[in-house]
Chain A
Amino acid sequence: MKIRFPIILKIALLGLLVTSLGSGVALTISTLNQNKRSEETLIENIDKSLYSVDYMFEDGDNSQDLQASLKNVKEYIKTVYSNPDIKEKTLKDFSSFEEYETYFQERDSWVFPPPGAMIASPAFLEFRKDFREMSHILLEAHLSSGARAAYLCYEENDGDKTRLIFMDDSRITYTGRKPGSFYHLPGSHYDLTPQDTIINEKNELYQGYKIDSYLTRFIELSETLEDGTEVPVASLFLEYDRKEIQKRSMDILFSELIILGSVMVVVIMLYMLIAYFTITKNLRKLTVATDSISHELKQANNITPKKLEFRSRDEIASLASSFEVMEEEIVNYVNIIKKEAKENERREAELEVASSIQLSALPANSYLDENVELKAFIKPAKVVGGDFYDYFYHGDKFFLMIADVSGKGVPAALFMMKAKQLLKAKITSETSFRKAVAEVNNELALNNESSLFVTSFIARIDFEKEEICYINAGHEKPYILHNGEVIKVDGTANFVLGGMEDIEFEEETMKFEKGDTLLLFTDGLNESINSKQEEFSYERVENTFKESKDLSLEEKIHLFQQRLQEFVQNEEQFDDITIVTLKREDSTLSLRYRNKDYQIIEDCVNKFQEAFPNLEEEKKSKVGIALDELLNNIISYDESEQLEIDITFTKLQDDVKVTISYNGQDFNPFSQDKEAKILSGDEDLDSLNPGGYGVFLVQTLSKSQAYTYIKDHATITLIF
């Protein structure tokens, strides 16, 4: 996973937030304080300057001269100011500063010379000295106090209206007269409004006005008359801008914040560096270790546990040590699993080989000769099973056996091989059936430490006598299908093979006639259980066998598989299942035709008649007619690339069974009822269009007809 928000960053951000909030608040408080302090200091300075000018004016060495000068100036201003032409004029009345200056100059009212340029009206020249003196005092007050401006003015009261008439402004001396710079020209005025409140009334001497954001503090300069009374001549105003003080404070605040911020960034970086070495680095180590483990797991390489070395003793170190333990566990576990998987693979391969050896030890699952037809089915529950069957001729007798070794898997399979070989060896060497089985039992019982045993049904079939002689050693009782009826092969229940030495085995004999079918099976069949824990049972075996009476051996086994599957559904097979069917046939004729030719009909009928010479003529004819009709139809309707017809004739006691199997379309010729095509003789001969008698004749002449369609092959079975 890609890390987008590292812990270290989160911690740093949190730290940054907290510290910046704290220091921001602290800084703001201190700035506000400073703001207040600096204003107080300024006011103090201003008041000092005001006082010093006042002292100079009233009690200083030159106070007489100063007072005289000021009075002269005031008189001059008054004279100029009382000129109605200019009395009401202020800078606001002019579009430009030059126009304003020119206006005053033209009217001989120019009261102040620009520095270095002594252009003045003649009236002014007389007061030049006085003016300069005042201007210097004013500038000094301005500069020494730190105020933004100092000016002199006198008041004129007109009713309740107070007008300030300016006499001089320190800024004129300080900056010179320049366009764009603002100052109160001598002779100009300002009318106090109710908003211009007097502030700082606690000290009579230092009163002030608040005009907009500008604050002024002023002192009255007075002339002391001979009688000691003081007559105010003018007021000295010192003005400062409160906003400017604030702005200055804010500038300081900002610069301080910037410094603080940079310091904090450095601190945070240091912090991150420390955190990296103490926390993140270790976490990264852990991550790298986990990644490499999972990578190795994926690659299925040899996995080696990673040692994580931590010097710290914190939670991460503890997590790391837990991780190391877990890692070791995983590695061990994975290695065990790998080993086991390999082992299992090997074992499975061995079992598969064993299974194929075992299956190859069994005879073919299909056998046919002139006496018998056999079909077998075996399905081991585990890869190797304990079930087996065997069949062979010994002399003119046919031996058939089925067996089930107790237990499953390899031990059962080995025991089974032994039992199978012993049975064949003993039976083929001994003349007595009973003795052979008894010897097999003794051999198996000898040194049988794992106490395995075999249940077995061994049959010796005598074709001449039409009977079977059998020994049932604790095995499931087989069934014989005789003329459509199922008979249980009952008799003495002998002890199992290999269970105990020196046992006598009883043999039984039973009729096994031509056309009879013997069904052998192991308990895997009747004891197969479904999800309700019900067994397939002998009853179902018997019923299925009966149901299959008209089917071929292959179809019988197919039916058993089908019925069993329907019964068990998805339940797991827990035991080997073996089914062996054996049919006693006397005369069987099998014919194979691969050519599409009507001549095969004649060939087939001829061969049939030769094979069954003792058959009644009528039956022969009926079979012949049926063959002619059916083969004619099969050939006529054939659409296959290569027609395959297999015909089997079987003698069943008095009957003949004819099986015609072909690779045609799935069409049951007997699906329709026998149609009433029987002519009555009333038909109009001309309109009579004969046809369709074929199948009708087959149905009428045969005793029974059956049709099945399995794996693209249609099979018609007829009994005559």
Chain B
Amino acid sequence: MEIRIKHEDAFIIEFVGRLDTVTSLELQKALDQEEVKEDLAIFDMKETEYISSAGLRLLLSLKKNLTKQGKALEIHNVNDICKEVFKVTGFVNILTIK
């Protein structure tokens, strides 16, 4: 697992590995230390192997926080399996997936 956080035009989170019970906690810890100044946050799942329900909860919580601050969240480079997960759970309807 690897977490890469970049502050560029947008606040970029690159998650490498499986976004599951254990890694979600670590990602959450990492995010808690960051301050999102940018208007847009991008969660890049290019190297994310898969996402479990723990990951979904994290994304939902992230989306809630950003929305409160009037900021947007985009999910990028979603692989097939993650796409399926988002689809079957209806997360496609909440998240902005590009």
Contacts and interface: CB of A to CB of B under 8 A. Distances in A.
Given A621-B49, A688-B60, A697-B53, A681 B94 contact: yes
Given A625-B85, A632-B21, A697-B88, A683 B94 contact: yes
Interface in A601-650: 601-602, 605, 617-618, 621-622, 624-625, 628-629, 632
Contacts of B49: 621, 624
B21 A628 contact: yes
A254 interface: no
Contacts of A678: 88-90
Given A598-B21, A625-B52, A685-B63, A693 B89 contact: yes
A697 B91 CA distance: 12
Interface in A671-702: 677-683, 685-686, 688, 690-691, 693-694, 696-697, 700-701
Interface in B64-98: 64, 67, 80-81, 84-85, 88-91, 93-94
A622 B20 CA distance: 12
Interface of B is mostly: helix
A181 interface: no
Interface of A is mostly: helix
Interface residues of A, number: 32
Given A685-B64, A700-B88, A679 B94 contact: yes
B27 interface: no
Nearest to A605: B18
A682 B90 CA distance: 11
A628 B81 CA distance: 15
A682 to B, nearest CB: 8
Contacts of B93: 679-682
A599 interface: yes
B57 A690 contact: yes
B22 A625 contact: no
B54 interface: yes
A628 B90 contact: no
Nearest to A676: B90
Given A628-B20, A632-B54, A679-B94, A622 B89 contact: no
B89 A697 contact: yes
Nearest to B85: A697
Of the four ranges (under 10, 10 to 19, 20 to 34, 35 or more), the interface on chain B belongs to 20 to 34
A680 B90 contact: yes
A680 B93 CA distance: 6
B80 A618 contact: yes
B89 A598 contact: no
Contacts of A629: 52-53
A344 B85 CA distance: 71
Given A601-B20, A618-B81, A624 B50 contact: yes
B56 interface: yes
Contacts of A694: 52-53
A109 to B, nearest CB: 155
Count chain B CB atoms within 10 A of each CB in A632, A690, A691 and give the residue with the most: A690
A373 B1 CA distance: 36
Contacts of B57: 690-691, 693
A611 B84 CA distance: 25
Count chain B CB atoms within 10 A of each CB in A621, A681, A691 and give the residue with the most: A621
Contact of A701 (B20, B54, B84): B84
A677 B90 contact: yes
A688 to B, nearest CB: 7
B91 A679 contact: yes
Contacts of B51: 625
Contacts of B18: 602, 605, 624, 628
A690 B60 contact: yes
Contacts of A682: 93
A188 B31 CA distance: 160
Interface string A651-684: 0000000000000000000000000011111110
A637 to B, nearest CB: 14
For the complex of A and B, 4 pairs with smallest distance between CB atoms: A681-B93, A679-B90, A678-B90, A693-B53
Interface of B: 18, 20-22, 49-54, 56-57, 60, 63-64, 67, 80-81, 84-85, 88-91, 93-94
Interface of A: 598-599, 601-602, 605, 617-618, 621-622, 624-625, 628-629, 632, 677-683, 685-686, 688, 690-691, 693-694, 696-697, 700-701
Given A696-B88, A697-B88, 12 more contacts: A599-B22, A601-B21, A602-B18, A621-B81, A625-B20, A628-B18, A628-B54, A629-B53, A632-B54, A688-B60, A693-B53, A697-B53
9 contacts: A621-B50, A625-B85, A628-B20, A632-B54, A679-B94, A681-B90, A690-B57, A694-B52, A697-B52
